[in-house]
Structure 1
């Protein structure tokens, strides 16, 4: 994997060493050795991997590999959509209680809960919650239609994400005239975005707080989040003082996650994107295990 040179980064090609004794914080500086082994195993099996982990307080890059490379990210690409929706709610250009209907949308069998609900109409604020918390494809499509694709594209640029984009709405099938993926992005840009959200820099403090509130309710803790031990539906007020917000993305041969994990020892912003051959359950589990390993090492650093 090709990586751009980064100060104090751990590359997927190996750990940079120095003669200096590491500074002691609450724990010694992590090497992410187990994560590196898991990711190198995926690369050896012809997978593609991009990862970026940075300390929230210092901005120091703790782990970086191919984090400048644009990759498919699935539902992770809806985070700037949420930022734009929250900004329009704040500006008053979009009414959060405007009711939108499900039936005019193209039917979908992909992820989400709205298609299983009896309620065929929901206020936009609830549509945003479904988009953030359950990777609901119908909700994301409805939100994108009202917010406007062009506005979301401009929001990506204003957030400092020139190599990332929400290309299309969610589809069950992608034909030759459709974008090949719903969204593309780099691990570095999405990790920085999450750091900006928790620090109030993503379109202002009010918008950042709203998006952080939505993402803190995300139900998918099956990848990096599995290491936290949090309850999927009630982890926004953890008794151990963990702050965890994340967004996952899934597509055939694609797994992606970006987020923030903070605890008593410190905090990190992270993103891990993987393309792999989903030829069997074992292939899939190997990809998922890389996320779980990263989660355990992030917990060792932060909690």
Structure 2
């Protein structure tokens, strides 16, 4: 049964895919292999790389990381507002999964890049190698988060295709990314995502406590930039689970934000209707 979702606005370029989590049946697809700038959605690759290093014993989850190891960075996240100057590796990953924390992202990238002969503070090459080792395609984190655009290097923070994000989340859920423990750890960091403003908005979940609600299990990771909205996640009802990704990018000067968010909510509403119908 395919989803009867509302049309996607033509003000943006899209990459969308919804699959049944158990069977892999494609329920909706629109340019799923198209890689688009996806802002913080690419931090999925970082979380998986950190989880894999921990499970191989190459990184201790309780190792303390100092935020002074990288330049300050603002926008999304909580660590910049906390008095605590150090966090454990695991706690930094929780902040990335829950609040898409930019400072924690850059500190974790810096830690992964240490000892590899790479430029201090990047670690993007280390994440890319880890993804290649684990057979992850279509989800790339290219660089650390910046406070402002760099005209000399217009590389986006990440590039993600809907097919790549859906495949990665489904494999994490199935325990086939490295070891099952890698998937369990990475998904645990995503279970308390605070951003339910996009596809996930249709489920009416509590953004502060949806990890504990009965009748609905939802986890997701999002990305937001001036001309980007991206949301990928797993949602389970009583009888069925769905894995989804929706990425939209539009041109500067085009007023597409509200239309894109409405399209994403329409997609979520179709997913919710399907899950509700099968209770």
Q: What are the Cα deviations for residues 246-289 of structure 1, in whole angstroms up to 9, with x where unaligned?
A: 10001110011111111123111111000124658x63211111
Preserved CA contact (<8 Å) 2:3 2:270: no
Preserved CA contact (<8 Å) 2:18 2:243: yes
Preserved CA contact (<8 Å) 1:159 1:193: no
- Aligned residue for 1:103, secondary structure, equals helix
Task: Determine the C-alpha separation between the residues in 2 that align with 1:294 and 1:174.
Answer: 31
Q: TM-score normalised to the size of structure 1?
A: 0.83
Structure 2's unaligned 5+ residue stretches are 114-122
TM-superposed deviation, 1:179: 4.6
User: Map of 1:30-109 to 2, 5 A cutoff?
Assistant: 30-34=2-6, 37=7, 39=8, 42-43=9-10, 45=11, 47-109=12-74
Task: Determine the C-alpha separation between the residues in 2 that align with 1:85 and 1:139.
Answer: 12
**Aligned-pair RMSD on alpha carbons?**
1.7
Residue 292 of structure 1, aligned match among 233, 242, 265? 265
> Who wins on radius of gyration, i.e. which is larger?
1
Q: How many residues align?
A: 266
* Structure-2 residue corresponding to 1:270: 244
1:302 and 2:272 correspond:
no
1:125 and 2:100 correspond:
no
- Aligned residue for 1:92, secondary structure, equals coil
Task: Determine the C-alpha separation between the residues in 1 that align with 2:2 and 2:26.
Answer: 11
* Structure-2 residue corresponding to 1:191: 166
- Aligned residue for 2:69, secondary structure, equals coil
* Structure-2 residue corresponding to 1:20: none
TM-superposed deviation, 1:156: 2.2
Which segments of structure 1 move beyond 3 Å, counting only runs of 4 or more? 158-164, 277-280
- Aligned residue for 2:229, secondary structure, equals strand
Structure 1's unaligned 5+ residue stretches are 1-28
Higher relative contact order (CA 8 A, sep 6+): 2
Preserved CA contact (<8 Å) 1:169 1:182: yes
- Aligned residue for 2:212, secondary structure, equals coil
TM-superposed deviation, 1:135: 0.7
